[in-house]
Structure 1
């Protein structure tokens, strides 16, 4: 993965029905990506309190 890419894929499952977790390397916010066939969606990954999951950023 290139250093100039903003998002890093930290989890991936499936081929036709894809579930991935991406981390924004600038803000640390985690996103859930779900794809099934030609349809897909992206949303922030939330904790039980409804706040975004944030991964500490390493400089």
Structure 2
């Protein structure tokens, strides 16, 4: 598992101001990454009920 990456990018939009969705391959939690210029940040993606969106984990 040392050669396997923990986060997997599943969505990307933009070039200068960027929005991406990343999945933690160990927990399945989805994160939103937002970058504009030199500033950026990552936060859990929340659903309608305010709970984190969790994707099924693929076992390879």
Q: How many residues align?
A: 57
**Once the 2 structures are TM-superposed, how far is the Cα of residue 8 of structure 1 from its aligned partner?**
0.3
Rounded Cα–Cα distance in structure 2 between residues aligned with 1:12 and 1:32: 10
TM-score under structure 2 length normalisation: 0.91
Tell whether 2:48 aligns with 1:48: yes
Which segments of 5 or more consecutive residues in structure 2 lack a partner in the other structure?
none
Deviations 1:3-55 (A, max 9, x none): 61100000000010000000000000000000000000100000010000000
Aligned-residue CA RMSD in angstroms? 0.8
Runs of 4 or more, structure 1, over 2 Å off, are none
**C-alpha separation in 2, matches of 1:31 and 1:40:** 13
Normalised by the length of structure 1, the TM-score is: 0.93
